[in-house]
């Protein structure tokens, strides 16, 4: 059952002239047609059906194309506000302005852009701006690289934003739509960062099933937000969105602490909504009871799935993949349940620090007897061939036995 009331609107249209349908209809019920497109093009198709009010763009590889295509939607009348900002710090502040003024807002960035914009992300969550950032992960300088590498995600883990991770073009499309719906719930209402691996998803053409483009999400209602919108239309008239709280009575340090807990609590409240709209916070592939488990997100999960096939077909070894669709909130219960038979948990990742391995270790500490193995780990644009994953398993496991 849907965690929100899906009121079927009576043939209402959005400002672009699309028929407004419920999130459940758009995501689960509307007929879908097969297309073939890149991740960047899928971003455009999602935004086109999302009744988006505002977007601000800035060029950086590999997200530029997605940002161009949102611009085309603006030119076609599907997006209300769109322009190129001066750099990512400016852009992330501009979208914050759009969002708190009551716009459904989306932007995109990658790697160094994410880090340049960094100060903004905790500001977004702290001011309860329910916007969406599509992050097409790329390596971080120095030295310069434009290649896929998701180290940047580790910097975002504690910004108070939700972090979702899409594996492929189809999932990116669906996650963007679900992202708005979940982020805008009145008791959630924090930003959602929808991450994908740059190039592997942004630039790869894949089959994708899309609902018709003459239907769209209901518009954002800023008056359901947990803070007044900055539009001088909602009381109190005296309202500073993000005040210097310690200056009240000069004693209220507890306010800032409570405020930060509230932002994290808001992420926790997203669980039932995300479970519904993402059809679970995790996805499993392979033998349910396998002792060898790959825990991964993004295209590392795709490669792990291929490795599971090879292990089964060529070595007769049973294995499974637990794909994490949400990193914040972290799917503790799902992971614990999915790894209850595990003896070896491999965490393949596209970065050198192994941030997902750290997350998995923290989640399973004293709850699982499985050995957690942070490998294979590739970075800087390297691919992760299924053969490499299989080789690691075949080398490591006999040595342990």
Question: Footprint of another protein on residues 124-183 (CB under 8 A)?
Answer: 127-128
From 49, 116, 269, 377, residue interacting with another protein (rule: CB under 8 A): 269
Residue whose CB is less far from another protein, 233 or 314: 233
Give the whole-angstrom CA distance, residue 197 versus residue 299.
7
Count of CB atoms within 10 A of residue 71's CB?
Answer: 17
Residue 164 dihedral angles phi and psi, to the nearest 5°: -115, 155
From 35, 68, 72, 90, residue interacting with another protein (rule: CB under 8 A): 90
User: Is 103 in a helix, a strand, or coil?
Assistant: coil
Give the whole-angstrom CA distance, residue 45 versus residue 209.
11
Indicate whether 4 belongs to the interface with another protein (CB under 8 A). yes
Name the CA dihedral angle for 77, 79, 85, 88, rounded to a multiple of 10 degrees. -150
Give the whole-angstrom CA distance, residue 318 versus residue 205.
31
Stretch that binds another protein, among 96-104, 175-183, 281-289, 379-387 (CB under 8 A): 96-104
Indicate whether 234 belongs to the interface with another protein (CB under 8 A). yes
From 24, 206, 242, 287, residue interacting with another protein (rule: CB under 8 A): 242
Indicate whether 207 belongs to the interface with another protein (CB under 8 A). no
Please report, for residues 18, 132, 149, 193, 293, the alpha-carbon distance to residue 138 in angstroms, rounded to integers and kept in the order given: 35, 18, 5, 15, 26
Which DSSP state fits 1?
-
Which DSSP state fits 41?
H
Indicate whether 24 belongs to the interface with another protein (CB under 8 A). no
Binding residues for another protein restricted to 356-395, rule: CB under 8 A: none
Cα angle 132, 133, 138 (rounded to 5 degrees) comes to 160
Stretch that binds another protein, among 34-42, 192-200, 225-233, 393-401 (CB under 8 A): 225-233
Residue whose CB is less far from another protein, 95 or 193: 95
* Strands annotated E in 297-366: 319-324, 326-328, 344-346
Residue whose CB is less far from another protein, 245 or 382: 245
Count of CB atoms within 10 A of residue 108's CB?
Answer: 30
Indicate whether 233 belongs to the interface with another protein (CB under 8 A). yes
Indicate whether 89 belongs to the interface with another protein (CB under 8 A). yes
Residue whose CB is less far from another protein, 66 or 129: 129
Indicate whether 13 belongs to the interface with another protein (CB under 8 A). no
How far is CA 340 from its chain centroid? Answer: 26
Size of the site for another protein (CB under 8 A): 76
Kindly state the tokens that stand for 374.
């942070």
Binding residues for another protein restricted to 288-327, rule: CB under 8 A: none
Minimal distance, residue 384 CB to another protein, in Å: 35
Q: By C-alpha distance, which of 135, 159, 157 is closest to 148?
A: 135
Kindly state the tokens that stand for 141.
């300088």
Minimal distance, residue 64 CB to another protein, in Å: 19
Binding residues for another protein restricted to 69-88, rule: CB under 8 A: 80-81, 83, 85-87
From 248, 314, 367, 383, residue interacting with another protein (rule: CB under 8 A): 248
């Amino acid at each position: 059952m849907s965690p929100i009331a899906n009121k079927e609107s009576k043939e209402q249209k959005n400002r672009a002239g699309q028929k407004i349908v419920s999130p459940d209809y758009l995501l689960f019920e509307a007929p879908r047609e097969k297309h073939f497109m890149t991740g960047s093009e899928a971003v455009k198709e999602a935004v086109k059906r999302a009744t988006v009010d505002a977007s601000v763009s800035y060029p950086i590889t590999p997200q530029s194309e997605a940002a161009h295509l949102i611009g085309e939607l603006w030119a076609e009348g599907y997006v209300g506000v769109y322009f190129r900002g001066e750099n990512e710090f400016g852009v992330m502040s501009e979208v914050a302005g759009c969002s708190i003024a009551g716009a459904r807002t989306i932007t995109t960035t990658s790697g160094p852009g994410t880090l340049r914009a960094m100060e903004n992300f905790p500001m977004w969550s702290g001011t309860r701006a329910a916007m969406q950032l599509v992050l097409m992960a790329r390596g971080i300088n120095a030295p310069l690289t434009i290649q896929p590498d998701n180290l940047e995600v580790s910097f975002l883990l504690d910004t108070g934003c939700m972090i979702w991770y899409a594996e492929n073009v189809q999932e990116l499309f669906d996650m963007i739509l679900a992202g708005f719906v979940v982020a805008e719930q009145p008791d959630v209402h924090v930003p959602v960062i929808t991450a994908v691996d740059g190039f592997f998803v942004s630039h790869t053409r894949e089959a994708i099933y899309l609902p018709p483009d003459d239907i769209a999400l209901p518009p954002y209602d800023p008056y359901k937000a947990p803070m007044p919108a900055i539009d001088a239309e909602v009381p109190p008239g005296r309202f500073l969105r993000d005040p210097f709280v310690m200056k009240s009575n000069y004693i209220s340090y507890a306010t800032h602490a409570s405020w930060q807990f509230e932002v994290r609590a808001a992420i926790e409240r997203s669980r039932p909504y995300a479970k519904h709209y993402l059809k679970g916070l995790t996805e499993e592939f392979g033998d349910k009871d396998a002792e060898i488990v790959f825990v991964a997100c993004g295209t590392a999960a795709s490669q792990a799935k291929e490795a599971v096939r090879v292990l089964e077909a060529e070595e007769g070894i049973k294995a499974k993949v637990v794909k994490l669709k949400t990193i914040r909130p972290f799917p503790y219960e799902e992971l614990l349940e999915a790894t209850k038979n595990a003896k070896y948990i491999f965490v393949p990742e596209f970065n050198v620090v192994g941030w997902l391995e750290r997350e998995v270790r923290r989640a399973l500490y004293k709850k699982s007897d499985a050995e957690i193995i942070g490998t294979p780990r590739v970075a800087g644009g390297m691919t992760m061939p299924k053969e490499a994953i299989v080789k690691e398993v075949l080398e490591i496991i006999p040595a342990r036995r």
